[in-house]
Amino acid sequence: MSSSALPQLTAFTNAGWCEEPFQFFVGSINTPDDFAGASFALGLRPVGSGVTSVHMSDGDGRLTVTLPNEVGITVDEADMADITPGLYNFDLVVTRAAGQVQNLLQGQVQIVGGIAP
């Protein structure tokens, strides 16, 4: 499976960032991918930079996995407050149980400085 690109996403520094789970399939929607035993990471890089400034994973609870084939973004408000507003490129990467690393999804997210309560 090759990686897919998304339209630009938007998240705010004064709210949790929750994206509905992305679903992944092999060949067609009749064959869900199987992520059993896999781990996931998502890195944010400011546009124009090759350096990841924010790292998220299923291990830190910022990515949620629902087997067999769904991955969602679930960053709480406190963590969002620490992200500098701006436009970021991102990649969602899976490391399968056998060790194969694959870029599943790429795109951009605009982090907007929200109004403090």
Band of residue 115 on the pLDDT scale cut at 50, 70, 90:
confident
Say what the pLDDT of residue 114 is. Answer: 86
First vs last C-alpha separation in the chain: 43
Establish if 105 belongs to a structural domain.
Answer: yes
Residues 6-28, mean pLDDT to the nearest whole number: 93
Establish if 117 belongs to a structural domain.
Answer: no
Establish if 95 belongs to a structural domain.
Answer: yes
The pTM score is 0.88
Domain count, the chain: 1
Say what the pLDDT of residue 69 is. Answer: 97
User: Which CATH number goes with the domain that contains 9?
Assistant: 2.70.50.30
Distance CA 37, CA 96 (A): 7
Give 61-74 pLDDT, tens digit per residue.
999 999 999 999 99
Coil, helix or strand for 52? coil
Domain, as residue range, for 65: 4-112
